[in-house]
Amino acid sequence: MIGTLIGLILMLRDLSDPAMIGPGMALALVTTLYGAILANVVYKPFSEKLRNLNNHEMLMKRMVVEGIMAIQSGDNPRIVEHKLMVFLPPKHRRASSVG
């Protein structure tokens, strides 16, 4: 974004010389292209990875809070286990005697 602004400033600095418009416009367009490439190739995947890590961490914290609340309320350990198994995807759940 800064490169684009610098290119536009160079382009508009001296409008009396038409030869100066081309290099300034070229700089503005090239830096805009580089910014778009960086945003989509580097920063967007990085953002998605951070979002996934955050969602996983929030799920773990929710599970911990649910488990602590169940233990504090005096639930049977098997019931607590069953409550916490709900958070796991079906392929990661193991058979339980509660049911």
Measured distance CA(25)–CA(30) in Å, rounded = 9
1 contacts: CB under 8 Å, gap ≥ 6: 31, 35
CB 11 within 8 A of CB 25: yes
Provide the pLDDT for residue 1: 77
Task: Name the token pair of 54.
Answer: 């955050």
pLDDT single digits (tens) 13-72: 877 888 878 888 888 889 999 999 999 999 999 999 999 999 999 999 999 999 999 999
Instruction: State the burial class of residue 7 (Cβ atoms within 10 Å of its Cβ: 0-12, 13-18, 19+).
Output: buried
**pLDDT (0 to 100) of residue 33:** 92
pLDDT confidence bin for 97, thresholds 50/70/90: very low
CB 30 within 8 A of CB 44: no
Predicted TM-score (pTM) of this structure: 0.64
State the chain's maximal CA–CA distance in angstroms: 85
The CA distance from 16 to 9, in Å, is 14
- pLDDT attached to residue 95: 62
